[in-house]
Structure 1
Amino acid sequence: MLLQGSSVGVWIGLWDEDPDTWTSGKKVSYTNWSPVSPRSFLNDDEWVSRFANEQLCMVLSNNHNFHLTGKWYFERCSESAYGFVCQKPQDVSKPPAHSCRHLPDNIEYRSHTYKVVSGNMSWYDAMHMCTENDSDLVSVTDAYHQAFLTVLVNRLAVPHWIGLYSQDSGINYQWSDGSDTVYTHWDAADDDEDIVNGECVYMDVNGGWRRADCETPLPGALCHVSPAGIKPFISYELVCPSTWVKFGQGCYNFEPVVEKLTFEESREHCRQKVNTSDVLTIESETENRFVLEQLWSSGFHHHTVWLGMYFNFDTDSLAWVDGSPMEYTNWPSKAPDTKLLTADTCVNTRVVDGLWYLSRCTERLGFICKTITNVGTEVEVAPINGVYHGVIAAAVLVAVLVFALLAGAMWFMYKRNASRFQRLPTLGSAYYRQTSSQATESDGNVLITDLEAHSGE
């Protein structure tokens, strides 16, 4: 949990000479091997020919993809891209540095704020108590916050409700605040017995998620505080072509996943569908999760599809086809060395885990088309303060000036053609009736012609 936003990984005290013993001399009793390793960028022959004689040391992955976060893999000990973590024995004569006896009202971790509520409560009671504290039952969507909450609940030493629940007898689960459910951390000891309709989930003292009847009383619950302040909300009227799926500001077509085309053929296929579309680009973890959920729900777990990324020979770097900045990546460990790439280098992603791999652009793979649709209407709703008051005042001033100009123009036209207006019999007998209670009998009725006479004096 302490590594979020840090380097791609850290060295830990294990190497290939004795993989069963830590460098401290203790025997290895726990392992967390990665399903993939950095040698994914090279085939087995290339790996053996280049690095067979080099010593390998263990890296703990800090990849933000939850399939790899915290996993272990071997890397050349001479590699300099990693950080490290030091460990020393705890002094048992001193009290623990952290204690949960007196928790603050708000517990901060990265960009999240948590609250802990205590007392025997059902899942529904927990939701109500979180709401009373201006928060929601917690949702856990990545391994970093899971690790943080694991430490917190472990120190509290009792299980706590979280915001996960089911409405279909345990077939599907959802977060009460609507967060995505791609990341999970079920306890291995949890089983499918005694499943009840509307069952709810709690975090046990070991951090694992377990199911229970929603009316079961538990000692506490974890709440997540919504971000403070009201942010402007912008809604877009986005219309996607038929059979395309809308997400954010883009439209996605998943039909070509079953096609087998080269990288350039895939790009041309997308352009023929919609001239503004191209092969899929992924700009955030949220977008990556959306794409994976769509593919998983359609049963494409074992497919590999093109990403709209290629090696730009002119800039000597990997680039997106739409020119967008490379702010998000999802390599198995670290980004590939561009010195080893050629002009025929493209990138694909495996649907099973969403990881990115290099491949030749002439390979034949499936693909997804994506288009950024022009926004028809943009509506912004924001608090009326500061600059918004200024805008309203300016609008009122402009309206007053326009009205004054129109009134002046009408008065000028009237004075210029006064004789014509005087010949109108209907205007000669028109009058303005004074309604004030203070008006005298002599000025109760004022003829418009009299007003004209006085105004000319």
Structure 2
Amino acid sequence: MEPVRRKHHLGSVWRCVFLLSLLLKFGLTGDCPADARTWVPFQDRCYHFVHGEEDKIKSYTFERAKSLCQGFELLTIQSAEENDFVIKYSPEVWKGNVNVWLGMFYDTSSEDMRWFGEDPVGFTNWEESSSPSDLMPLDTCVTLHSNTGKWENVSCQDEVENGVICEIVQTEEAKQKPSALLSALVVLSVMAIMGISAVIWFLSQKHNLGSTIFTAFEYHPPFRVLEADQSCLVEAEETDSVP
């Protein structure tokens, strides 16, 4: 049973190393709202992946999605890295494929798509079969498919989707925190975990080596060579004394 426990412990250690590497890769730093929601920081923003208490995927209209994020923003995607973060983190919250509402609308003034924060749409990831002109301008909304990361135009009025993500910009204090500090903490944590793993491996090897040495040097009584020689001398003396 001992090797099994050691193997299980080492597996847990390596899972911790993997999670720490994800923290470093995604840059999960900074301050997020201290409310009852679970916020996930990434770069200079925080994200709340909406899910039901019973851990079941629900359906939401576009208006319902906006009301769930009241006081915050619906998800906006500004870069390929942010798009990649969303599709990689989604399985941590939802089971199966999810279509996530994006906070995008058709601006009739500029005749182009814009984010609700009035930011222009720079990065896009449209499906080949989808384009901003597929629907009537005032009924054009956008959803992101969690399995592919692609965007699709859908009706704001008729469509219901099963994914809602709220976001907010981190505080200025959080954005000014040096990322080098996080990197140093993660590296030190990984080194500590690796050190613990090395100690466990050394102790297991020492235990196995000790058993082998003990077996190799198993006690055997010495040969009684001296007594045999003495017996031969006695016999020789008796032979010499015979007339």
TM range (shorter): 0.5 to 0.7
- The correspondence for 2:170, drawn from 370, 373, 385, is 373
Query: Contact (CA 8 Å) 1:311, 1:341: kept in 2 or not?
Result: no
Aligned to 1:260: 59
> For 1:346-381, what per-residue CA distance to the aligned partner results, in whole angstroms no more than 9, with x for missing partners?
000111111100100022223111111332353569
Q: 1:300 Cα shift?
A: 3.3
Q: Which has the higher strand share?
A: 1
Match of 1:361 in 2: 156
Relative contact order, CA 8 A, sep 6+: which one is greater? 2
Q: Is the CA contact (8 Å cut-off) linking 1:256 and 1:368 kept in structure 2?
A: no
3-state secondary structure, aligned to 2:172: coil
Task: Compute the displacement of 1:326 (Å).
Answer: 1.4
Aligned to 1:322: 117
Contact 1:300 1:351 in 2 (8 A): no
Q: Shift of the alpha carbon at 1:335?
A: 6.7
Which runs of no fewer than 5 residues in structure 1 stay unpaired?
1-166, 182-234, 383-457
Corresponding residue number in structure 2 for 1:270: 69
State how far apart, in whole Å, the 2-side matches of 1:312 and 1:300 are.
34
Whether the 8 Å contact between 1:251 and 1:371 is mirrored in structure 2 is yes
Larger relative helix fraction: 2
| Distance apart, 1:239 and its partner CA | 3.1
* Structure 2 unmatched ranges of 5 or more: 1-9, 181-243
Contact 1:237–1:375 (8 Å) recurs in 2: no
* Shift, 1:331, TM fit: 0.8
Which of these residues, 126, 135, 138, is aligned with residue 343 of structure 1? 138
Shift of 1:168: 4.9
Secondary structure at 2:59 match in 1: coil
Residue 307 of structure 1: aligned partner:
102
Whether the 8 Å CA contact 1:348–1:358 is kept in 2: the answer is: yes
Question: Is contact 1:348–1:357 with CA below 8 Å preserved after alignment?
Answer: yes
CA contact (8 A) 1:346 1:361 kept: yes
Q: Does the aligned pair in 2 maintain the 1:236–1:375 contact within 8 Å?
A: no
Change (3 A) 1:336 1:325: same
Give the one of 83, 87, 94 matched to 1:288: 83
Deviation string 1:301-339 (CA, Å, 9 cap, x unpaired) is 322121111222222111111122312111123872538
3-state SS in 1 of match to 2:160: coil
- For residue 262 of structure 1, report the CA deviation from its aligned partner: 1.8
Per-residue CA deviations over 1:125-147 (Å, capped at 9, x if unaligned) read xxxxxxxxxxxxxxxxxxxxxxx
Q: Extract structure 1 runs of 4+ deviating beyond 6 A.
A: 171-174
Tell me the equivalent position of 2:188. Answer: none
Cα distance change of structure 1 residues 263 and 339 upon mapping to structure 2, 3 Å threshold:
closer
Amino acid at match of 1:239: C
Aligned to 1:184: none
Residue type of the alignment partner of 1:371: I
Does the 8 Å CA contact 2:73/2:103 hold for their aligned counterparts?
yes
1:253-285 Cα shifts (integer Å, max 9, x gaps): 1124834222122112211xxx2x121111111
Distance 1:381 1:293 in 2: 22
Aligned-CA RMSD value: 3.7
Q: Residues 66 and 74 of structure 2 are in contact (CA less than 8 Å); yes or no, is this contact kept in structure 1?
A: yes
Q: Is the 8 A contact 2:30 2:170 kept in 1?
A: no
